[in-house]
Structure 1
């Protein structure tokens, strides 16, 4: 592997081990792509054309399986997938008049049709915006209006939430009992010939998607991602699959495709490497175990809460998980304790943590090898090719060297264009020359490995000290009788804020008390980090990507305080 910047070899300020340039304060990726792996630069290239160009050749596409429904075992080959994309694109363009720049609102759980819908929409220059099917009607109305959606595509069971918007709507599939039938995606695919679509002059700078951030600590915002962002990301994902030698792996998809993690990886990216994906419509822990066993799944891109479940679940002996080879973790921090517990329980499985955010199209870091990941279980790897980073002191604005904590800033071709219609938020997030301020507290070590400490906004301010909830949550989930945990701040007159824990007991641990939990944490941390109060709860509220919804817990805690007055 070479260095990302050719001139760095002769730069006296550049540290070849960490990638840090002491003169500029910039960390550079230590990986350089070869000529065949570099990001395409032709201006008139859209992401759908790029993905389709990476499909297996026709003589393989007829038999190579792209997708399998984990429940019904229905299979879709690459040839069938290409045909469905082309037919749906023709139906949308010629039948419904969808044009470049139109925004298509997608409201559906995972399905075999989801990638077809996304790629068909993108191929005619229209823009996708995706939503969680669990969202309320009010949340959906807000997103439809904010995104300026011209057409909606919905699963039948969620369609009622779209009625108040007045937006024309397709259903994904026709319901037999539907008394007011709507045109369906399935009908368009079946009845439309893949007609030639006039040249739409899509450029890499055009908007491809408007994805709404989870809004776990604030109001969600529309992240505008371009075709260039996705082409850059697909190039990196293809490289990561190639370098991991996982082209022949069988992947399991249960992360939602409406989230950047699922959309980038399963809705688009894996098709560039010709792999097979087993698709779960909705996550179910036992269903996941059965899918691994029945389909000989070898690769799972997961989230920390799922990995924690695998560590804590005691009845895995009833399932054959021997086919597993790799488990990736993303979307939220994975603690060293959980990573160590996973490796102890599944020593034959490669566990690798990565880091990304919607604003960077889901990418930033990647572990090339399992040896790297094992040696640094708390790290989320090194920067991907074409990425640069800064660690910035949020009080002085100075760029910091290895082992100094500050805010992570990123720059890469995958970084978003803007927040839709929100100039104030865009200006607050971008610094000069395209640096994206992530809001994450982090540091790099002296070999260029990134460590995420926590969200800056979520740090608890106690007596002038900063307490990271993620650190305390890692300790809590290390307790044998705690299944899951979350830590939030509660306002306190004397100390500013105090750390309060919400804890989910393991199934057979009803005797676990508040005092026992407080003492367990106190024995492992400095006095100012101690948990001051514990509430037991049946489940930690999380987003579809596995992030803790702290705002819900803060509201819950305020209700508890009021009820005690």
Structure 2
């Protein structure tokens, strides 16, 4: 009898809602016309708030101020600041005039700042004067002589910033509106509007270049799958400099008339919980480590979270046990898991509100509307059958225009058929749900066995004393690599050892999957977006365990 062909790991997203053809500025104006008197933006730290009509007035004023400063379509405007209302104003004002917003990581130091300013050719830099221990103003002055294209530095709260806004508010209102209308008439939804630098674990980061069409539609459809309306109030503790904050947060809100709530300049578990309670938020965002911190907050029970119905957990793999607690203890019955990357604007797959709890705690959902995903053999590029592990690829409106001024790097990431290769290992089931099993580069090869850290991490989360766990590979002269677990303990728990972890795993995990080494830490090395830096963990572990000789052993 003929053998039926296996169903390929491919899926495309359908939607009754068409793609948006607007620019970001036009889309904001539509929302203002429909919901002008509703809350648009709340900044909890300063108790400032804007209705949509007030937000639009300040955005337009800033846009006019930028024009007066000589900033126009295609010019790059850097933004280097923690989450604040001014960040949001700058995001929409640059979009109104077609300037390209360059997001700069608040954790950068002078060397990284200099690279980004020069690589993107930034003309104007809008920045906070300082934040936490970072003296931004001093670092800017240090690198400014080395950045030939940087003509303007605008520090938030200083005269230069106030002047930008004040100039935009002066003059005849009708003439100002006509001036902005003329500029918008020269814009296309396919124009580049944003450059976001990927974290980059080795070498310098790459600037993912995104269009109005990329990020406006991604924010809109993420919001659609969260069932957002003008009645929703979204607490956004994730950084604006990243897609999670400015796309899934801000653009999802403004494309639906929802309210953006900024709980604090940087993540603080108490501030986030307080913002949800005070502003009656219906949605809360975070990476897993943020939700872990909120759930572990000693005063957690003091906050009224009864208005929460949904939210998004994304940015890094979401532990099953944490997801269950978010649903049960925080009341986020419709919480959504999103998966993606900066280069895809960012979301490619998402769970739906009507998905079973099991689907929402064990997968990253199905392909988003108007997108395609497939799982391929990393060596041959051929689509693998459903149920088989391979590299996840994405195609559609969300795929970036390319890496800024790096066509060679673009060609390495996006193939000739416009598939973005994510570098993530995934499995697609019979119903199209995707499970991320790890990074191709994170896979540990122990004595010829391919081991996926995510599987072992999920098992360790079931230990009652473990708050968080990360598994890496470390060099070994016999097996090539061995497994090491970094763990964070719950408050009051006794630190684990190799022996106690082995005893917990015996009979429940295959022996070759049991970590040989265990390291108890207070926190993991992280990027500002909440992604664990496993490369740094591996480097520290080599020193900690005295494995330099094994690390330098040559292999075929």
TM-score, normalising length: structure 1: 0.87
What SS does the corresponding residue of 2:458 show, helix, strand or coil?
helix
C-alpha deviation, 1:315, in angstroms = 4.2
Structure 2 match to 1:152: 125
Between the aligned partners of 1:99 and 1:65, the Cα distance in structure 2 is 30
Match of 1:84 among 52, 58, 68: 58
C-alpha deviation, 1:310, in angstroms = 4.0
| 1:196-207 aligned within 5 A | 196-197=179-180, 198-199=182-183, 201-207=186-192
Match of 2:385 among 391, 401, 417: 401
Matched, 1:367 2:340: no
Match of 1:174 among 128, 143, 157: 157
C-alpha deviation, 1:418, in angstroms = 1.0
Contact persistence 1:255–1:544 (CA under 8 A) = no
Structure 2 match to 1:10: none
Contact persistence 1:522–1:531 (CA under 8 A) = no
Match of 1:162 among 111, 133, 140: 140
Between the aligned partners of 2:252 and 2:327, the Cα distance in structure 1 is 27
Match of 2:210 among 217, 225, 231: 225
Deviations 1:459-479 (A, max 9, x none): 111111121222222222332
Contact persistence 2:309–2:334 (CA under 8 A) = yes
Structure 2 match to 1:48: 25
Deviations 1:50-101 (A, max 9, x none): 23323343xx41x31111112232111111110111111111102x100111
Between the aligned partners of 1:245 and 1:226, the Cα distance in structure 2 is 23
Between the aligned partners of 2:190 and 2:282, the Cα distance in structure 1 is 36
What SS does the corresponding residue of 1:434 show, helix, strand or coil?
coil
Between the aligned partners of 1:173 and 1:250, the Cα distance in structure 2 is 26
Structure 2 match to 1:8: none
Structure 2 match to 1:189: 165
Structure 1: gaps of 5 or more residues: 1-13, 176-181
Between the aligned partners of 2:548 and 2:192, the Cα distance in structure 1 is 51
C-alpha deviation, 1:334, in angstroms = 0.8
Q: Closer, same or farther in 2 for the Cα pair 1:322/1:523, shift >3 Å? A: farther
C-alpha deviation, 1:116, in angstroms = 1.0
Matched, 1:133 2:106: yes
Q: Closer, same or farther in 2 for the Cα pair 1:322/1:222, shift >3 Å? A: same
Structure 2: gaps of 5 or more residues: 131-135, 550-556
| 1:303-382 aligned within 5 A | 303-313=287-297, 315-346=299-330, 349-382=333-366
Contact persistence 2:83–2:240 (CA under 8 A) = yes
Match of 1:143 among 112, 116, 122: 116
C-alpha deviation, 1:311, in angstroms = 4.2
Between the aligned partners of 2:349 and 2:374, the Cα distance in structure 1 is 14
Q: Closer, same or farther in 2 for the Cα pair 1:103/1:245, shift >3 Å? A: closer
TM-score, normalising length: structure 2: 0.89
Deviations 1:420-448 (A, max 9, x none): 22233212111221111111100111111
C-alpha deviation, 1:217, in angstroms = 6.1
What SS does the corresponding residue of 1:258 show, helix, strand or coil?
coil
Structure 1 match to 2:553: none
Q: Closer, same or farther in 2 for the Cα pair 1:343/1:269, shift >3 Å? A: closer
Contact persistence 1:380–1:450 (CA under 8 A) = yes
Between the aligned partners of 1:559 and 1:67, the Cα distance in structure 2 is 47
Match of 2:42 among 55, 60, 68: 68
Matched, 1:519 2:519: no
Contact persistence 1:351–1:370 (CA under 8 A) = no
Between the aligned partners of 1:118 and 1:21, the Cα distance in structure 2 is 43
Pairwise CA RMSD: 2.4
Aligned residue pairs total: 526
Deviations 1:356-384 (A, max 9, x none): 11011011122232443444521111111
Instruction: Select between 258-267 and 78-87 the one with higher mean Cα deviation.
Output: 258-267
